[in-house]
Amino acid sequence: MAYGFEAKNDNGKVIINDTIENLHFIGKATRGSNNAAYGDFPGYGGSNDALDGRVIHYYTITCSGTPVAFIKPADYSRWHGIIKQSVSGTTWSFDVMVSGTSTSNPPDIYCFVNADDIPVPSGETYGMQVFKSNGSTKTFDSRRQPLAITGGGTASAPPSDPTNSSGLPGVSSGHSWNYSSNDHDFRSSNRYTAHSDSAANTSNAMFACSSLAQAVYKRQQHGYKESCSGCFPFIGCINCQDHHSTAAWWVMYRQAFRLRSGNFDSGWTGYAAGYSFSSSFESGGWFGGGGGSYSTGSMPYTAKTINLQSNAFIIADSSRYN
């Protein structure tokens, strides 16, 4: 650089110059409504009913440029992930998923944009700005706090199987009619990949990391019996019917993250879940007779995990921006 301004840190890394566009803090996103669900399988009341649960908090912030959002957990024991980010005009929306069903611990979302996109603080007419060589594109503005990265690296993908039980849930037949006892633990509390990082703590740390991986898995049980209205000598059994039943439990997962002291964890949280039950049975009057059928719930897509990729994570100190 023949002229201009350049600042380096103690390690000689450039932190301000005329080519690097610094990210600057523009504020916390405004939290709106939330949606809490899936603390257990909807419509099911048997064994292994419990799920991790999740709350989706909805946030918005208005800014030009694309914001980089950091999650500052209120409860560091929970898993967090931004599962959707969209824009309408200059209003950006974030759907932030938090494990559990308590809505009383929403995280804060700290937003940063390029220096050239920050709104000019009113009444602040002193400071230092750095521009690119074109003289118009701002790379730094001291009136807004720049993003100071304290940690980060490459977050490996979480384990492919998001479920706590060993082995993938599968399909089994030969059960008795209407058999519907879930034998698979679909919670994800033990399914994560840990990354050592000294910047990770449970007091001020916040992180940015894309929730890429998705998965959906189901346990399915088929039951059967033959039922006849009655059996008589010579005539045999009459009005015999095949009675089939299918019970299925499924969960769709999204990748989520957790900060622990000295660790950044890449794991899973259930996003949606269902219990599908269908049965053909005797009906018709006084609890017995003809033939009826019942089905409830819906089945998931074919079980799979997708987008199982490593991705970058950044850790910063939220207390700088309070």
Q: Over the Cα atoms of the chain, what is R_g?
A: 27
Is-contact 95 107, C-beta < 8 A? no
Q: Which is nearer to other proteins, 62 or 241 (CB)?
A: 241
Q: Does 281 contact other proteins by CB under 8 A?
A: yes
Q: How far is the CB of 166 from other proteins (least distance, A)?
A: 23
**Interface with other proteins (CB under 8 A), residue from 176, 190, 310, 319:** 176
Distance CA 309, CA 158 (A): 9
Q: Which is nearer to other proteins, 296 or 309 (CB)?
A: 296
Q: What's the DSSP call for residue 235? A: T
Q: Does 298 contact other proteins by CB under 8 A?
A: no
**Residues, the chain, total?**
322
Distance CA 141, CA 115 (A): 6
Q: Does 170 contact other proteins by CB under 8 A?
A: no
Q: How far is the CB of 194 from other proteins (least distance, A)?
A: 36
Beta-carbon-side half-sphere exposure of residue 122 (alpha carbons within 13 Å)? 0
Distance CA 152, CA 312 (A): 7
Q: What's the DSSP call for residue 290? A: S
Q: How far is the CB of 138 from other proteins (least distance, A)?
A: 58
Lookup: tokens for 315: 């850790």
Q: Does 127 contact other proteins by CB under 8 A?
A: no
Distance CA 159, CA 217 (A): 14
Is-contact 79 54, C-beta < 8 A? no
Distance CA 269, CA 299 (A): 19
Q: How far is the CB of 105 from other proteins (least distance, A)?
A: 27
**Interface with other proteins (CB under 8 A), residue from 88, 122, 285, 302:** 285
Binding window for other proteins (CB under 8 A); candidates: 59-67, 184-192, 200-208, 287-295: 287-295
Q: Which is nearer to other proteins, 53 or 107 (CB)?
A: 53
Binding window for other proteins (CB under 8 A); candidates: 39-47, 91-99, 122-130, 256-264: 39-47
Site for other proteins in 76-105 (CB under 8 A): none
Q: How far is the CB of 36 from other proteins (least distance, A)?
A: 18
Q: Which is nearer to other proteins, 50 or 120 (CB)?
A: 50
CA distances from 116 to 4, 113, 301 (A): 17, 8, 44
Distance CA 57, CA 54 (A): 10
Q: Which is nearer to other proteins, 48 or 201 (CB)?
A: 48
**Interface with other proteins (CB under 8 A), residue from 181, 190, 261, 310:** 181
Q: Does 29 contact other proteins by CB under 8 A?
A: no
Q: Which is nearer to other proteins, 74 or 231 (CB)?
A: 231
**Interface with other proteins (CB under 8 A), residue from 34, 102, 129, 178:** 178
Q: Does 221 contact other proteins by CB under 8 A?
A: no
**Interface with other proteins (CB under 8 A), residue from 99, 163, 180, 214:** 180
CB pairs under 8 A, 24+ apart, for 294-300? 296/43, 297/42, 297/43, 297/248, 298/274, 299/218, 299/248, 299/250, 299/274, 300/216, 300/217, 300/218, 300/250, 300/252, 300/274
Using CB under 8 A as the criterion, which residues of the chain lie in contact with other proteins when the complex forms? 43-46, 176-181, 225, 229-230, 232-235, 238-241, 245, 247, 277, 279, 281-292, 294, 296
